[in-house]
Amino acid sequence: MKNTMNTSKLLLGLTAGSLLVSAAQAQIEVVITGATAFRSITQDRVANYLLTGVTTIKATNAGVEVITYTGNLANVNPTLNGQPAIIRTSFTGSGKGLLDVYSGTPVQCALSTGVLVAKTPDIAYSDAFPNSVTPPLRKTDFDTVTNVGVVPFVFAAHNSTGITNITKDQVALLMTASGAMPASFLGGANSNPVYLVGRDSESGTRIVTLKCVAFPAEPIQWAKVGGVWVTTNGFASSSIVRSVVNANSDAIGYMVSTDALAIAGNVRMLTYNGVPYTTANVLNGSYPIWGYEQAAARAGIGANQKAVFLALVNGITDLVYQTTNPNYVGKYEVISQMQVERGGDGAVITSKNW
């Protein structure tokens, strides 16, 4: 009888031990959504910093590629490093990402090659502050919201328009009268109308740009359908805005500076109130159209998932990464080198030095 009891205790102990081992090695799943501006940054840090032994699964959602990564965790903490993880990425825009994380609304992720699955997001990257989205949110609606980078935005016009500069007042007119307003009214080379091309209402690019130029209403925006300009609510992808402006001689748009640089052969990046976008002008505060890239973790996020979130933040904000990696350098501004700051989208710019 005694031997039977000892054997039972031993079996129970072994069972409990194996359950602990299984729990320790259980795959950690994290779902990331939000800003398309930091899509390449996040994907790079997941594949080359957060995970080792990486494999990828890709699918397409509404014409946009979504990627799921599997591997073993690294650069997190001694307890989690080496543990298997699956990181799903599905970038849908800043406003939508924040709202989906807040509300627990599933986003479409890659389950297997070409196959989608709906997953509740844990993390959103956003070009905009939570209180700028519609409906507005608070930082306290999330576990954590932190700045990870600085994103510059620009107005850019096709070279054929002859437009080189735009003022705050001209932006307001452009937002309400493009399609009728001649290029010459903006200092352009001809009297042909210009058409504003931009993002949808859930895009951080649109939210932040409009806040920075103090335009409080819905802009009138255009798209080409069958060769004819028609009004639209805006595009879901910055790459579409870029391609439309690049392809049409009467187009003007707003976009992340890197998109304008990518089409510099046909398109001119405009100065704003006479000030050109340069890294130096953003860092010293003289060029005002920029926002913080923020990372937000959902309220109630699990301890392991939050550890992954913090590791991603560390990997993105690392000074060496932001000053040497081609995914960041020349595209976004080094956050630790900013000489100025602002407390919200389009808020007053103040010095950090005095």
Of 264, 283, 302, the domain-final residue = 283
Q: Is residue 34 part of a domain?
A: yes
Residues 260, 262, 268, 272, CA torsion sign? positive
The Cα 132–Cα 346 span in angstroms is 10
pLDDT of 246-297, one tens digit each?
999 999 999 999 999 999 999 999 999 999 999 999 999 999 999 999 999 9
Q: Report the CATH number that the domain containing residue 204 is assigned in CATH.
A: 3.40.190.10
Question: Is-cis flag, bond preceding 276, omega within 30?
Answer: no
Q: What is the pLDDT confidence band of residue 3, given thresholds at 50, 70 and 90?
A: low
Residue 7 is assigned to a structural domain of this protein: no
Predicted confidence band of residue 7 (pLDDT cuts 50, 70, 90):
very low
Q: What is the pLDDT of residue 62?
A: 86
pLDDT at 63: 84
Residue 18 predicted with pLDDT over 80:
no
pLDDT at 25: 61
Query: What is the overall mean pLDDT for the chain?
Result: 92
Same domain (yes/no): 258, 197: yes
- Is 258 inside any structural domain? yes
Q: What percentage of the chain reaches a pLDDT higher than 90?
A: 88
How far, in Å, CA of 75 to CA of 314, rounded?
A: 9
Q: Are residues 57 and 105 in the same domain?
A: yes
Segment 147-164 mean pLDDT: 97
pLDDT band at 111 (very low <50, low <70, confident <90, very high): very high
Exposed (0-12), middle (13-18) or buried (19+): which is 325, by Cβ within 10 Å? middle
Mean pLDDT for 204-228 is 96
Q: Are residues 156 and 279 in the same domain?
A: yes
How large is the average pLDDT for residues 76-84? Answer: 97
Q: Is pLDDT of 1 > 60?
A: no
Domain that holds residue 89: 24-149+291-351
Rounded CA separation 254/245 (Å): 9
* Average pLDDT of span 56-79: 96
pTM of the model: 0.87
* Residue finishing a domain among 251, 283, 315: 283
